[in-house]
């Protein structure tokens, strides 16, 4: 297993922002249950960061369709089953589909831009990215105007 090259400046900035967010959450909730949940999610995010950094990105790209289907499923569920709310309340966890949408769309855009290698976007690439506006339209329709509109 080859250890990846890290961008230490980005990693340190991210850690600083996580620490600032944790301190802000602790002061706002006085160390309550929300703060403990936030720490749990920070830890899980750190584990995911290391796991993704150690994995071959080509393998991640090969399963991107699974993430896209997952995104569309989350958005449709929030639109239909949860009566136009921004949050999906599942047993033990609440998630915002717009946050998943951000990650998926960033990865898709990076993939398309990487394929073009600095060249201007062709119409085919532009249409491919535009086709993924469907989940954003659903998010906006589900009254998630603040998050979906930002994307």
Q: Are residues 106 and 39 in the same domain?
A: no
Q: Is the confidence at residue 48, as pLDDT, over 80? A: yes
Q: Are residues 26 and 92 in the same domain?
A: no
Give the least confident one: 1-10, 30-39, 58-67: 1-10
Range of the domain at 98: 56-151
Q: Are residues 62 and 51 in the same domain?
A: no
CA atoms of 97 and 34, how far apart (whole Å): 20
Task: Indicate yes or no: pTM above 0.95.
Answer: no
Could you report the per-residue pLDDT of 14-46, keeping only the tens digit for each?
889 988 988 888 888 776 787 888 888 888 888
Q: Are residues 45 and 67 in the same domain?
A: no
Contact, 129 vs 135, CB < 8 A? no
Could you report the per-residue pLDDT of 64-105, keeping only the tens digit for each?
778 778 777 777 776 666 555 667 777 877 777 777 777 777
Question: Looking at residue 28, what DSSP letter applies?
Answer: H
Q: Are residues 91 and 45 in the same domain?
A: no
Distance (Å) of CA 17 to CA 10, 12, 32? 11, 9, 20
Q: How many domains does the chain have?
A: 2
The torsion angle over the Cα atoms of residues 33, 37, 43 and 44, rounded to 10 degrees, is 160
Mean pLDDT for the chain overall:
74
Q: Are residues 71 and 88 in the same domain?
A: yes
Could you report the per-residue pLDDT of 92-141, keeping only the tens digit for each?
777 777 777 777 777 777 777 777 676 777 787 778 777 776 666 666 66
Q: Are residues 105 and 119 in the same domain?
A: yes
CB 64: neighbour CB atoms within 10 A?
Answer: 13
pLDDT band at residue 148 under the 50/70/90 scheme: very low
Contact, 87 vs 75, CB < 8 A? no
């Amino acid at each position: 297993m080859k250890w990846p090259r890290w961008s230490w400046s980005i990693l340190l900035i991210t850690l600083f922002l996580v620490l600032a967010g944790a301190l802000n959450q602790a002061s706002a909730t006085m160390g309550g249950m929300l703060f403990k949940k936030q720490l749990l999610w920070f830890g899980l995010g750190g584990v995911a960061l290391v796991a993704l950094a150690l994995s071959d990105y080509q393998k991640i790209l090969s399963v991107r369709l699974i993430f896209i289907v997952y995104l569309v499923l989350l958005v449709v569920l929030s639109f239909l089953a949860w009566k136009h709310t921004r949050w999906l309340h599942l047993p033990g966890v609440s998630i915002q589909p717009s946050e998943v949408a951000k990650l998926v769309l960033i990865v898709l855009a990076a993939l398309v831009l990487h394929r073009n290698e600095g060249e201007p976007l062709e119409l085919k690439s532009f249409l491919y990215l535009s086709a993924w506006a469907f989940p954003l339209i659903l998010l906006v329709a589900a009254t998630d105007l603040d998050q979906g509109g930002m994307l």
